Amino acid sequence: MSSMGCRCLGWALAVWLCCLSAAGSAWAQAGPSPSEGNDLHDQFTLAEVPDSLGRLDWGVDERGRPWGVSSLRAHLAATPGDDLSRQVKRVLQVAEQKLGTDIRPLAHLETEGRLVSDPAHQASVAATSQLDTVYAWAICARQADPPLSTWCASAASDAIVAWTTINQPSGNPISENPLIPLLQSIDLMLPLFTPDQQFQALEWTRSLGERGEALFAAMSPRDTRLVNNWNSWHLAIQGMVGTITNDADLNARTRVEVHWQISQNINADGSTLDFRQRDALHYHLYDLQALVDLVSFTDGLVSVEDEAAIERALDFIEPYFSGQQQHFEFVTSTVLFDQQRRDAGDPSFLNAPWKPEKARQLLRLARSSFPTIRPWTTSVVDENYSPRLKVLAALLMSSD
């Protein structure tokens, strides 16, 4: 990945250089112990320090090179009024406004199988909703001028340390896919971490992937979770884990598993297994969001053939999104929990016509990796999204 150079003045120069010095040491020493040098797969090279944004896919610049700290800073200076510059600046504003926020991690995230009225569900949503703030701090730490960059780096580091200390992954991809902004924050912050912080963050990241693999390995071969949205989200998380930890073996397994999942999950007409099971575009989109995240944020884990299948599944939405067709949701769903949520008054599970605006977030991000959908998705390009999503979409679209 490409990177960024930081220019600092006065006292902030000393602080910043100190951070970079620690980062170089950290990236060179990642391994089984923060005090033991080794050559495991997660060891970083000095070539990646300090300019790289991270190992995840952060998009490419006008020259077709991965965005880095210095190239992004140069872009902001050269074209301050374009969409990417506006969105980065907005994230920096949010980061500064949120300084001092009390980040409250949870040991266990529990949303899957629970009604929205369940206290455990509500606590999990409240905790993970703060991760967009952590992400904003991470962007700020890599992109802002000092002293703001220093304050953001401290806030992001403290938040990530808190989460990776307290949270104990279960491997449940439905409860834990809201952790993706935390994974992205870790990727951004790795070069600024101390060796101990880097070790802790990478160990937690690795454990997130390991718990997921263990959960799926224990499932019966007939379990539909092996081929529905559960596995799509499992593989999205696993792909990001393998990329961040630079685990070649895990990445190789993920490529094979992704190919199998897409071949089983997406039908020739573009409909997904989830659509057939749940009779709901709600779940078609939910499944696709995981696969689009996998394509968007990792590199080389989804083949051209499998991307074409994902594109078919996106095209499946078009007549419903354009209003040519209408779909009543969950009418023949085979899943009892859908009825339980409807009876509890959850508006997302009513037997009512699907609303096209529900596809906006998926389509906004998908436009970057699937340009053929852009002609019928122009209406989703506006400011009505979170700053995190807008800056991600802008980074990934910037070379077009």
User: Which pLDDT tens digit goes with each residue over 253-287?
Assistant: 999 999 999 999 999 999 999 999 999 999 999 99
Q: What are the b/e assignments for 219-230, b being 16+ CB within 10 Å? A: eeeeebebbbbb
Give the number of C-alpha atoms closer than 13 A to the C-alpha of residue 125, restricted to the C-beta side: 11
Q: Which helix (H) or strand (E) holds 279?
A: none
- The tokens describing 71, both together, are 């190239």
What's the confidence (pLDDT) of residue 399? 57
> Mean pLDDT across the stretch 379-394?
96
What's the confidence (pLDDT) of residue 313? 98
Which pLDDT tens digit goes with each residue over 75-99? 999 999 999 999 999 999 999 999 9
Least confident of 7-16, 115-124, 356-365, 369-378: 7-16
Sign of CA dihedral 145, 64, 375, 311: negative
Residue 38, pLDDT > 90, answer no
Give the whole-angstrom CA distance, residue 79 versus residue 105.
38
Residue 1, pLDDT > 70, answer no
What's the confidence (pLDDT) of residue 395? 97
**C-alpha distances in angstroms, 97 versus 81, 84, 133, 189?**
22, 20, 10, 20
What's the confidence (pLDDT) of residue 52? 86
Helix (H, G, I), strand (E, B) or coil at 16: helix
What's the confidence (pLDDT) of residue 51? 87
Closest-CA residue to 356 (of 330, 386, 324, 308):
324
What's the confidence (pLDDT) of residue 334? 93
- What number of residues does the chain have? 400
What's the confidence (pLDDT) of residue 166? 98
pTM of the model: 0.89
Which pLDDT tens digit goes with each residue over 193-218? 999 999 999 999 999 999 999 999 99
Which pLDDT tens digit goes with each residue over 42-83? 444 434 446 889 999 999 998 999 999 999 999 999 999 999
300 confidence band (pLDDT: 50, 70, 90): very high
Give the whole-angstrom CA distance, residue 179 versus residue 149.
23
Give the whole-angstrom CA distance, residue 6 versus residue 51.
9
Share of the chain above pLDDT 90, in %: 86
> Mean pLDDT across the stretch 28-43?
37
- The tokens describing 234, both together, are 């499992």
What's the confidence (pLDDT) of residue 306? 98
What's the confidence (pLDDT) of residue 400? 55
DSSP state letter for 382: S
Helix (H, G, I), strand (E, B) or coil at 81: coil
Give the whole-angstrom CA distance, residue 294 versus residue 152.
27
What's the confidence (pLDDT) of residue 134? 98
Mean pLDDT of the chain, nearest integer: 89
Which pLDDT tens digit goes with each residue over 146-199? 999 999 999 999 999 999 999 999 999 999 999 999 999 999 999 999 999 999
The percent helix, strand, coil of the chain (3-state, each to 5) is 65, 0, 35
Give the contacts of 256 (CB within 8 A, at least 6 positions apart).
none
**C-alpha distances in angstroms, 1 versus 16, 28, 62, 190, 254?**
21, 17, 14, 13, 21
Q: At what angle do helices 83-97 and 69-78 cross, to 10 degrees?
A: 110
Q: What are the b/e assignments for 289-300, b being 16+ CB within 10 Å? A: bbbbbbbbbbee
